[in-house]
A and B are shown apart, each in its own frame.
Chain A
């Protein structure tokens, strides 16, 4: 077959041979041959276009009908009459119609030969594969060698000496030397230390996402021992609230949501177990390298257990179309979600940009992309084999997580239950047939229809003897009772499962098109980092997975990987200081920002690895540093010389995140429910927001008030209906990895916090709390209210002013004391001093 196309003598094809050729070509399964076939095909297409079309539609600046056919982009763009290629209905592509002389007559002089038309038709059907990818790749590799030798992020970690800075008194932890030296070099001095209360509020929000209580503030002020700061730090790091705060940052990165998105936005059952796993991992200070390996290959590690399986839910969190228009493309979209997310989250590499072509900026080729994809290629079931009701995701994502003993117990109980039910059911059915037998002939016939049976039974039952009737009723209620007391199913988790030991062959997809296979590739690490080819242990034919991801995971988490430790250390720094040492936390590439303190970054990363990848130890060093303890106040010299605070001459003030706002409000109002873990909860949302869903009545669940007051990390994350209050305060977009939240300021936020139900309801809880704790004493109420919100003690003027307002409002507006207190509380919850952290 191939020889026919190769044949220079252009054999004259009979129509039947042509059809035969096309059928063979079109129905061939995608296999190893296809890339070379495609190569041949594209080569042939090129020669047809060159000899027949480029004269008028080539690379010249002005061409007929503004249609250039010399590049794939221009071909797809079409000309003055619109697009010429249709992927949805390839045969109808204007290009093909034109060469078939249907609408236009192209080429105008004489039609192409039937075989040329057949070749072009086949080529269009295959998604117009275009040769030239390999050319670009080779150009890129030339550029790559130059870049990889110098770009900072691809170099091994350096081990910088801690510099000597002059003002030794200022230093609290070694990292301060790095900061201070740079400030001194630039003639800047660090801001003075923030007050004790300011630091306390800062560290409370930073480590737990909640404000300190006035009692906690008092105790800290009273503690004058030298290790007062360290004691609080350790206490917060070991509180359960620590994991609830820091897990949220990780969930943003791994695009955590509990639904699939798209048309049905179906629920991802048990996704919340992944959320709980992350909370636990942070709380236990799980070494970060282990955390990485469990998420990427928890099903392939030694000692697989429930938790490591739950960790692999990581793969399943992304958007997923359960009714894709092009299932094959959708299959690769799912893989792309994994490649893009994984490379950004763990390596700060934008490898996703190389899906369709070589990376425009970074030395990452299209081949790199598909080599990395090959590690994951076996993780999604091929959706093409499945009807959409039973899709790859729903079929293959849930795993029972229970001990062997629990599984045995379950099985015994289940069998017992089934047996019991069968016994009762058998007797019941016998009795029913007996009843139906007694029906008149015409009804007997009708009773074969299941729908009518119940009705007829009802009718006949009254005619049966008392004893039979009673027995029948008893059996019915026995069945009901059994059905109500089913054996509790074993817990399941959202996990990954590979399709057996053999991974499919991976190909480069030309222009990212799932239907256009290019060259074969094998799993390999991005070339620019200069690692040897991965070595895979041979796996048993019967093994549940290929073992590829474990190799990838161990490479990511290996001490030699120049990126992993830098990336996570940068993220931890980012969430303490409002920005990373590298300001683009998901992109350490050429296009990303350079580290403002490269030596500090490397030193922190090196130390992080030495200390067993302990995140808590990193937190401790950061929050106890003088750098972290600086005041956030303005300083004219700093502002003049370094307005962006690149050098960290002060601690930057920042607004609380959406979750922290909601949690802090409930904490201050006294209703926060600190219950941990479990299925997500549904705070009430306004009907007006639900109206946006296509089924408003079923759009959102119901939780008790008590459950609605759980911390925000436990709120259900529904892609098509995000909780509106938090959404207004810049919740992460869940469709791709979110490295950093926006901080927008728009008038609708003010409407939410002034008029919205949540804030007003919380203000009334807050007012009630003040009455409960301070009786009817206005001054005490005000003082307590401000303290709860600010942490610090309000000064006398502030208190007397507020008291004055309350008196005035009562007089001028004729409102009650309670109402006035409510409005005071509403003001407090809206204050910048409450919603921002110094």
Chain B
């Protein structure tokens, strides 16, 4: 089913690395060079390359097997939503409310072996044909459960935000590794060269902990790193012409610049592809200036669509804006879009250490309708089939209280829920289980790597083969251990 993305003639895809150094990187797709090996490379380097033969490092590539999904929208519930108050129904927990029980937990407050149960603070009701029980926090999302595949047995390696964020985004607790979006673009390229291939939209309160480390390309070149996209104002950094520049002026500046740059290259420097690449990049930037504002301009979106995403409501407007933008980016071929719900620290995100009810009420209310709107809108346009929507945080929360009083819950990486929809994921299905308290995954536990493997697999990439040679190792998103996709979901 899979084709081998490693060159066959060498160990560890070494030729790709050589290719890289020799080319100065970035003129032909790296993954492509990996596929084609050294021979391809040495044919490409000779002296006749002009700007025309320059290939954008993000130019599209074919997946290695038939892909179900073309794009990914990762809705990142930063801070860690409580699975037992959202999608993981634990009927026994209600009755235990306030009782102190024996349970192993590990959060920012360290390891504990007992705690006071905080019963789920919301009721659950069956929804859809599947009868999936969903908490009252998500009345709108409840109407979409038949399109959603839930994973209730997620587990991660860290209950600390910083390292857990890195794990969810890059598969490692340590920093320095490329993020999921970088791997996707490395493997597939972007289908639209006028827009970045890996886009990140942040909460208005700020970025997540560790900031740019959450969309870094790590040891891969910067061309694979995430680009911050704002739904309001200047969408991409430096996209707008400087203030005071007359409308037609920029094109004139570009024309003269290109003229001088071409003349410079013509003077016996034709063999240096970098010069041509830079000339070409100015034209692409010019096009991006036209296309990116168009992508973020909602003028063509009718009122009922705006309503669908909750743009007419103060509470949902911000996240709805980003969800609608995500759909527009998917339509334009952007490969990987990450949307953050929550930013900064404390209650600006899902990190409900204090007042659980208030925290989750705010964040669920801000996202419920927009996410449901996104799923429905994608579906009615036939886009859901080829768009993989992923929902979840860096971990879940504990069934017991963090402090002596109150209902705040500490972090829980032993077991939590994430869900996926579209992109070939079976809807109305729930896989894996946590124990009756929701404290740890006990049935079919899945590691973050399994989630990553599933995403790559749906995009047509073999998670155990997609590799990048670095520091003497064939690095993979799923690590040396490797991981298989979650079979029950696909």
Flag if B272 contacts A720 (CB, 8 Å).
no
User: For residue A640, which residues in chain B have a CB less than 8 angstroms away from its CB?
Assistant: 46-47
CB-CB nearest in chain B for A73: B481
Given the known inter-chain contacts A361-B472, A745-B278, please indicate yes or no for A694 contacting B344, CB distance below 8 A.
yes
Is B413 in the interface zone, CB < 8 Å from A?
yes
Q: Is the CB of B57 within 8 A of A736?
A: no
Q: Is B155 an interface residue (CB 8 A)?
A: yes
Interface residues of A in 741-798 (CB under 8 A from B): 742-752, 754-757, 760
Flag if A833 contacts B153 (CB, 8 Å): no
Residue of B with least CB distance to A764? B242
Residue of A with least CB distance to B221: A742
Return the contact of A77 from the options B236, B278, B344, B481 (Cβ within 8 A): B481
Contacts of A695 on B, CB cut-off 8 Å? 206, 344-345
Are B212 and A720 closer than 8 Å at their CB atoms? yes
A705 at the interface (CB under 8 A from B): no
B24, B219, B239: the one contacting A733 at CB < 8 Å is B219
Closest to A725 in B: B238
- Extra pairs beyond A586-B471, A644-B45 (15, CB < 8 Å): A77-B481, A81-B443, A83-B446, A86-B445, A92-B440, A262-B175, A688-B234, A719-B175, A733-B176, A742-B25, A744-B25, A744-B222, A751-B238, A755-B238, A756-B238
Q: Is B467 an interface residue (CB 8 A)?
A: no
Complex Cα distance A699/B11, Å? 43
| Stretch of B118-126, B259-267, B402-410, B419-427 with 4 or more beta carbons under 8 angstroms from chain A | B259-267
Question: Do A745 and B281 form a contact, CB below 8 Å, given A263-B162, A263-B210, A735-B175?
Answer: yes
CB-defined contacts of A607 to chain B, threshold 8 Å = none
Interface size on B, residues (CB 8 A): 126
CA distance A283 to B248 in the complex (A): 49
The interface residues of chain A lying within 8 Å CB-to-CB of B196 are 748
Interface residues in A305-351 (C-beta closer than 8 Å to B): 319, 321, 323-325, 333, 340, 344, 350
Residues on B with C-beta less than 8 A from A25 are none
Q: Give Cα A591 to B228, complex, Å.
A: 37
Top 6 closest pairs, chain A to chain B, by CB: A263-B162, A735-B176, A350-B472, A750-B285, A639-B47, A633-B268
CA–CA, A819 and B202, complex, Å: 36
Given contacts A632-B269, A719-B175, whether A735 and B246 have CB atoms under 8 Å apart is no
Q: How far is the CA of A472 from the CA of B82 in the complex (A)?
A: 56
A587 at the interface (CB under 8 A from B): yes
Answer yes or no: B87 CB below 8 A from chain A CBs.
Answer: no
**Which residues of the other chain, A, contact B270 by a CB distance below 8 angstroms?**
634
CA distance A496 to B274 in the complex (A): 43
Residues B444 and A747 in contact, CB atoms below 8 Å apart:
no
Contacts of A634 in B (CB 8 A): 47, 268-271
- What mask results when residues 74 to 101 of chain A are scored 1 for a CB within 8 Å of chain B, else 0? 0011101111001111011010010000
Q: Is the CB of B284 within 8 A of A747?
A: yes
Chain A min CB distance to B347 (Å)? 13
0/1 string, B318-329, CB within 8 A of A gives 1: 000000000000
Per the bound structure, the CA–CA distance linking A432 and B46 in Å amounts to 86
Does B354 interact with chain A (Cβ within 8 Å)? no
Known: A361-B472, A692-B228. A89 touches B269 (CB 8 A): no
Contact between B265 and A263, CB atoms less than 8 A apart: no
Within 8 A of B (CB), among A618-643: 632-636, 639-640, 643
Bound: A81/B288 CA distance, A: 45
Give the residues from 568 to 590 in chain A that come closer than 8 angstroms, CB to CB, to chain B: 579, 583-584, 586-587, 589
A interface, CB within 8 angstroms of B:
73, 76-78, 80-83, 86-89, 91-92, 94, 97, 103, 261-265, 319, 321, 323-325, 333, 340, 344, 350, 352-353, 356, 359-362, 579, 583-584, 586-587, 589, 591, 593, 632-636, 639-640, 643-644, 653-655, 686, 688-689, 691-696, 699, 719-722, 724, 727-728, 730, 733, 735-736, 740, 742-752, 754-757, 760, 805, 809, 812-815, 819, 823, 826-827, 830-833, 835-836
Residue among B58, B175, B208, B211 with most chain A CB within 10 A: B211
A76: chain B residues at CB < 8 Å are: 481
Tell me if B429 is interfacial: C-beta within 8 Å of chain A. Answer: no
Assess the B25–A743 pair: CB atoms within 8 A.
yes
Residues of A within 8 A of B46 (CB): 639-640, 643
Contacts of A261 in B (CB 8 A): 175, 210, 213
Nearest CB in chain A: distance from B41 CB, A: 9
Q: Would you call B210 and A82 a contact (CB within 8 A)?
A: no
Which of B106, B160, B250, B446 touches A82 (beta carbons < 8 Å)? B446
Nearest B residue to A265 via CB reads B210
Q: Which residue of A lies closest to B156 (CB)?
A: A88
Tell me if B57 and A813 are in contact (CB < 8 A): no
Contact of B442 among A97, A352, A653 (CB under 8 A): A97
Contacts of A819 in B (CB 8 A): 244
Task: Give the docked Cα–Cα distance between A261 and B46 (Å).
Answer: 41
Q: How far is the CA of A94 from the CA of B155 in the complex (A)?
A: 13
Q: What's the least CB distance linking B288 to chain A, in Å?
A: 5
Asked if residues A730 and B206 are in contact (CB atoms below 8 Å), the reply is: no
Chain A residue at smallest Cβ distance from B47: A639
A767 to chain B, nearest CB (A): 13
Interface assignment of B282: CB less than 8 Å from any CB of chain A? yes
Residues of A within 8 A of B238 (CB): 686, 748, 751-752, 754-757
CB distance from A112 to the nearest CB of B (A): 20
| B14, B153, B279, B445: most-surrounded residue (chain A CB, <10 A) | B445
Q: How far is the CA of A735 from the CA of B178 in the complex (A)?
A: 12
Binding site for A on B (CB under 8 A): 11-12, 14, 17-18, 20-22, 24-27, 42, 45-47, 54, 56-58, 104, 106, 108, 153, 155, 157-163, 166, 173-176, 196, 202, 206-213, 215-216, 218-219, 221-223, 227-228, 230, 234, 236-242, 244-246, 248-250, 252-254, 256-257, 260-261, 264-265, 267-272, 274-275, 277-282, 284-289, 343-345, 413-414, 432, 435, 440-447, 450, 471-473, 480-484, 486-487
CB atoms of B210 and A694 under 8 A apart: yes
Q: 27 interchain pairs (CB within 8 A)? A: A76-B481, A94-B443, A262-B163, A263-B209, A265-B211, A319-B175, A325-B158, A325-B159, A340-B471, A587-B472, A589-B472, A634-B269, A634-B270, A653-B274, A692-B215, A694-B344, A694-B345, A745-B27, A750-B284, A751-B285, A754-B250, A755-B238, A756-B238, A757-B238, A830-B257, A832-B279, A833-B260
Q: Establish whether residues A744 and B223, one from each chain, have CB atoms under 8 Å apart when the complex forms.
A: yes
Contact B47 A643 (CB under 8 A): yes
Distance A261 CA – B212 CA, assembled complex (angstroms): 11
Q: Which residues of the other chain, B, contact A751 by a CB distance below 8 angstroms?
A: 236-239, 285, 288-289
A686 CA to B240 CA, complexed, in Å: 13
Closest to B27 in A: A745
Q: Given A694-B209, A742-B222, A746-B223, does the pair A583, B471 have CB atoms closer than 8 Å? A: no
User: Closest CB-CB distance, B16 to chain A, in whole Å?
Assistant: 12
Contact of A823 among B253, B278, B450, B481 (CB under 8 A): B253
Please tell me which one of the listed residues B58, B344, B447, B487 contacts residue A80 in the complex, with CB atoms under 8 A apart. Answer: B487
> Which chain A residues lie closer than 8 Å to B21 at the CB level?
579, 583-584, 593, 740
Complex contacts, B216 vs chain A, CB 8 Å: 733
Chain A residue nearest in CB terms to B195:
A747
Q: How far is the CA of A340 from the CA of B219 in the complex (A)?
A: 15
Q: Considering the chains assembled together, what is the distance between the CA atoms of A815 and B245 in angstroms?
A: 9
B463 to chain A, nearest CB (A): 12
Q: Which residue of A lies closest to B213 (CB)?
A: A720
Q: A587 to chain B: which residues have CB within 8 Å?
A: 471-472
Provide the residues of chain B in CB contact with A747, threshold 8 Å.
281-282, 284-285, 287-288
Chain A residues within 8 Å of B261, by CB: 831-833
A746–B42 CB distance below 8 A: no
Which of A340, A743, A754 contacts B26, CB < 8 Å?
A: A743
| B218 contact from A89, A733, A832, Cβ within 8 A | A733
From B227, B248, B413, contact of A813 by CB (8 A): B248
Q: Which residues of B contact A730 (CB under 8 A)?
A: 221-222
Give every chain A residue within 8 A of B345 (Cβ-Cβ).
694-695
Cβ contacts under 8 Å, B228 to chain A? 688-689, 691-692
Question: Contact at B242–A755, with CB atoms within 8 Å?
Answer: yes
